[in-house]
Amino acid sequence: MLSLGALLYDKIMKPTEQACLIEWRADLLKGVDGKVLEIGAGTGASLALYPNNSSLELYLAEPDHNMRSQLAEKVNASNLSNVAILACPSEAIESEDNFYDHVFVSLVCCSVNDVEASLQEIKRVMKPGGRFIFLEHVAAEEGTKRRKWQGRVNFLWRKLAGNCHLNRETEKHIKQAGFIITEIKRESMRKSMPLVRPTIRGIARLS
Ligand SMILES: C[S@@+](CC[C@H](N)C(=O)[O-])C[C@H]1O[C@@H](n2cnc3c(N)ncnc32)[C@H](O)[C@@H]1O
């Protein structure tokens, strides 16, 4: 992401965070414990919402230097004690196999270069009984006006918004990767631009 985009990120997202994202993140993260990987942790929007358990081992992966430096500042200011910051992308996670109890992504699958490779990596690093927790903005329903506009604007939007794709069919990709979605909610992301409003959030497992 351009350094200006990274600098303004929290400011731009604040109304949306307050309108819905903080509540959704908190709900998704309330039960996490053990070894947890957040991919594309950005500026640390979810950091304050992790339970402060001594048994929590948090790994935050963020490949963008400008986002990662803000993330590091928030980690230093937090009272979480067991946190490691990684610079790896989702397509090549620096981890042994079957390591994490939970893998979390929020607003990341839209931006990765290779969503299929990323999901295979998540499968590889998750323990067999682990949970993949996702909160993503996605393609609108096929045949709708919104979906048509997502397609028309996508190229330009990607250039302006750090490779964010407006029309990723993330739910389909998660299932095609071999995950079983055990919980899913579909909701409009309030106080955001109409083309990024459709979202999914929930839990996927390997068995
Ligand atoms: C829209 S921001 C979301 C940040 C944060 N997860 C949040 O919820 O506020 C997208 C993030 O995904 C990161 N990202 C982009 N491509 C990535 C990749 N291949 N692997 C991991 N993270 C990636 C970006 O650097 C950016 O921090």
Q: Tell me the pLDDT of the chain (207 aa) as tens digits.
A: 667 778 899 999 999 999 999 999 999 999 899 999 999 999 999 999 999 899 999 999 999 999 999 999 999 999 898 999 999 999 999 999 999 999 999 999 999 999 999 999 999 999 999 999 999 999 999 999 999 999 999 999 999 999 999 999 999 999 999 999 999 999 999 999 999 999 999 999 999
In this prediction, residue 161 carries a pLDDT of 93
pLDDT at 1: 66
Q: Is 41 in the pocket of ligand 1 (CB under 6 A)?
A: yes
Instruction: Please tell me if the CB atom of residue 89 comes closer than 6 angstroms to any atom of ligand 1.
Output: yes
Ligand 1 centre and the CA of 188: distance in Å? Answer: 20
Continuous segment of H or E residues that includes residue 103: strand 100-106
Is the minimum distance from the CB of 198 to ligand 1 under 6 angstroms? no
CA-nearest residue for atom 8, ligand 1, is 106
Give the pairing type, strands 180-188 and 83-86: unpaired
Q: Which of 103, 73, 78 is nearest to 90 (CA)?
A: 103
Tokens of 21: 């994202």
List domains and CATH numbers for the chain.
3-205 (3.40.50.150)
Q: Would you say the CB of residue 5 lies under 6 angstroms from ligand 1? A: no
- Residue 205: how many other CB atoms lie within 10 Å: 15
Q: What is the pLDDT of residue 5?
A: 78
Q: What is the pLDDT of residue 2?
A: 64
Closest CA to 31 of 102, 82, 83: 102
pLDDT for the residue 206: 96
3-state secondary structure of 42: coil
Question: What are the structure tokens assigned to 24, written together?
Answer: 């959704």
Residues 6+ apart with CB under 8 A from 132: 102, 103, 105, 122, 126, 174, 179, 203, 204, 205
The tokens describing 83, both together, are 């946190």
17 lines ligand 1 (CB under 6 A): no
Q: Which conformational region is residue 44 in: left (phi greater than 0), alpha (psi within -120 to 50 degrees), or beta?
A: left
Q: Residue whose CA is closest, atom 22 of ligand 1?
A: 40
Q: How far lies 95's CA from each of 59, 61, 98, in Å?
A: 10, 11, 9
Q: Give bridge partners of residue 205 from the DSSP assignment.
A: 180
